[in-house]
Amino acid sequence: MTTPTVPRIQRLSPALASQIAAGEVVERPASVLKELIENSLDAGAQHIEIESEAGGIGLIRIRDDGYGIHPEDLSLALSSRATSKIHRAEELLAITTLGFRGEALASIQAVSRLSLSSRIVDANHGWRIQENRSPQPIAHPVGTTVEVRDLFYNTPARRRFLREEKTEFIRLKSTLTRLALSHFNVGFRANYNGRPLLALPAHHCPAERLKRVAAVYGQGFVANSLYVEQEQDELRLWGWIGNPAFSCGHNNLQYFYTNHRMVRDRLLTQAARQAYGNRLPQGRHPAYLLYLELPPNQLDVNAHPTKNELRFRQARQVHSFIVRTLIEVLKQPELQGQSWLPVSLLQSSRYPNLKEKPAKTTHTIAEHLTPYHTQPLKKHVPEATEDNDPLLGQAQTLVLNRYLLAENKTGLILVDTYMAKAHLTQTRLQIAYANDNITQQPLLFPLTLNVLASQAEWVELHGSKLLELGFGLYRLGPELLILREAPTQLKGLNFKSFLHALLLQLTTQPQKPLELAFIREGIINLIGSHLAPSTPPLSLPEMNALLRDLEHFYQHTSTLNRKLPWREFPKDQIEAWFSSPHDQNT
């Protein structure tokens, strides 16, 4: 095996430097991380280790096993407009590396305490340079280590513009995961504040790549995506696109890479959006992870300071190729099903610990919905009350748009309709749980939720228990969940606020959160405070339907440990109020 030749660093000539678009300044820790990892990838690294602290402000350390920097070039590496990646103007027309401007290390060193260590393959030891000192010999493996400490220590004004540590960490992690998806053949290992953050071994075949996609994107995307691969002339498009039913209310799950470069280019996003067309409801965004490959001379990456926006030399051809390829995939018959992956893969990727349960009778959602505003009035009164004098009487009117006034043979009944709705919903759900007869209904528009990473991890590990209780809640990303199914009994529930409250309870309270009974109790208890009030005000038939529902489930209330949503006012008590001189004066 021949020893690879280490590219030598040279200063760009003034003529060549003038043709390069001005580079992006170091804005925050995430931009430092991006530049350093891209340098490692350009150096042919097969494994990259990342250490960071305090949102990347305190420390970012990158160590790779690439070909290293020649000892004579260490000082030059920290100079502006010095690079090993391009040396002639014609090379700008076919750039094959992620970086090429020769500015990153110099810009980072200007605002931090930076040290650079490296060893090439045929050297006996490595060399380190830091704080403008001469290089010193050190023990170091083949490859390069860059350590950046105290970012913006000498520019307090810029440091004040940084967000709090948690926000910078989120940006840092997002940048890291995007870069990890750009090179499946490179292993990544990251620690944050001394604790493991990410461990992604190198993957080379499509089946193995899917493991990394699941680790970064989430199992929800994997279970609802289809593999794409198409070549035409010198263009190749491959990756994964999400089922239109798996759409989101934001565009955070749209990753597009061109020649291994992560980009957010308008031509590419418009092409993907056009391919989905009217398959998506208004305001919804597709999820995809796509890779476009084309000859370097067909792409201008020297068009924007961030290198995130590109200029295609045959833009119309690229746009048409992407649209046609994705349309063909989206027309496939697999779209008619709930999933695009084999059952065996689904069972292993969604919730592997979920035990198969006996098949249950399929029910429509209408069988479990309260009839208010949705169905004709139904009578389902117990035998004991099936006469002209039902327990809760007949509705008379609605007071204050909330309280139902009814009259029975003994007096008046005042019902809090808000409490009644919650009471009935909780009762129906508890009975369904007790009889192991919970039924699900797919949501017309799946709901995405931004949550804490710890809550997303909880769902990843224990979502099978929620699925047993009727909630098809899946992890979509590091801090993103998607609700696809819910119990049919929960009409009118504000799922977003309810799930946030439920996850907070499940991930913070110490009472055995892994027990199904504990989760079930939390669900039932939280329902009442997250139901939307009935609007518009109930009509008289709807009020009577509500009374009959309350009577029907009255026999179950003794097991629910909740107070009834009505108050009784006997006729003799009402008469006493007005016949007693004492009460008349009060």
Tens place of pLDDT per residue across the chain (586 aa): 455 678 888 888 887 877 776 555 688 999 999 999 999 999 999 999 999 999 999 999 999 999 999 999 999 999 888 888 887 877 777 787 888 777 889 899 999 999 999 999 999 999 999 977 889 999 999 999 999 999 999 988 888 888 788 889 988 998 999 999 999 999 999 999 999 988 999 988 877 888 899 888 777 788 778 899 999 999 999 999 988 877 776 777 889 999 999 888 889 999 999 999 888 777 778 889 999 999 998 988 876 655 567 788 899 999 999 999 999 999 875 554 333 333 333 333 444 444 434 333 333 333 333 333 333 333 333 343 444 567 777 877 877 777 888 888 888 888 877 777 777 777 777 777 776 767 777 887 788 888 888 888 888 888 888 888 888 899 888 888 889 888 877 777 888 888 888 888 887 765 454 677 778 777 877 777 777 665 556 777 777 777 777 776 665 554 455 567 778 888 888 878 887 565 555 5
**DSSP states of 466-502:** HHHTT-EEEEEETTEEEEEEEETT-TTB-HHHHHHHH
Tell me: cis bond preceding 536? Omega within 30 of 0 counts: yes
Residues 6+ apart with CB under 8 A from 383: none
Query: The dihedral of CA 118, 122, 125, 129: what is its sign?
Result: negative
Residues 6+ apart with CB under 8 A from 28: 56, 162, 168, 171
The 8-class DSSP code of residue 40 comes to: H
- Helical (H) or strand (E) element with 169: helix 165-180
Let me know: does 183 contact 44? Beta carbons within 8 Å.
Answer: no
CB neighbour class for 317 (10 Å; exposed up to 12, middle 13-18, buried from 19): middle
- The predicted pLDDT at position 42 comes to 94
CB atoms within 10 A of CB 133: 10
Strand partners, 412: 407, 569
Per-residue three-class SS string for 107-147: HHHCCCEEEEEEECCCCCCEEEEECCCCCEEECCCCEEEEE
- The pair of three-digit structure tokens given for residue 230, joined into one six-digit string: 């198409």
What b-and-e string marks burial along 533-565, b requiring 16 or more CB atoms within 10 Å of the CB? ebeeebeeebbbbbbbbbbbbbeebeeeebeeb
Let me know: does 301 contact 307? Beta carbons within 8 Å.
Answer: yes
Query: The dihedral of CA 41, 45, 47, 52: what is its sign?
Result: negative
Residue 312 phi, psi (nearest 5): -90, 135
Residue of 165, 129, 149 whose CA lies nearest to 55: 165
What b-and-e string marks burial along 387-406, b requiring 16 or more CB atoms within 10 Å of the CB? eeebbbbebeebeeeebbbb
Residues 6+ apart with CB under 8 A from 371: 377, 378, 542, 545
Q: Coil, strand, or helix at residue 227?
A: strand
- The predicted pLDDT at position 584 comes to 53
- The predicted pLDDT at position 335 comes to 52
Alpha helices in 185-301 (DSSP H): 206-217, 219-223, 266-276
pTM over cut 0.85 = no
Beta strands in 218-267 (DSSP E): 225-232, 235-242, 254-258, 261-263
Let me know: does 315 contact 303? Beta carbons within 8 Å.
Answer: no
CB atoms within 10 A of CB 200: 20
Tell me the longest C-alpha to C-alpha distance in the chain: 111
Let me know: does 544 contact 394? Beta carbons within 8 Å.
Answer: yes
Taking 3-state DSSP, the helix, strand and coil percentages for the chain, each rounded to the nearest 5, stand at 40, 25, 40
The 8-class DSSP code of residue 521 comes to: H
Could you give the domains of the chain? 10-200 (3.30.565.10), 206-336 (3.30.230.10), 358-438+531-586 (3.30.1540.20)
Q: Coil, strand, or helix at residue 254?
A: strand
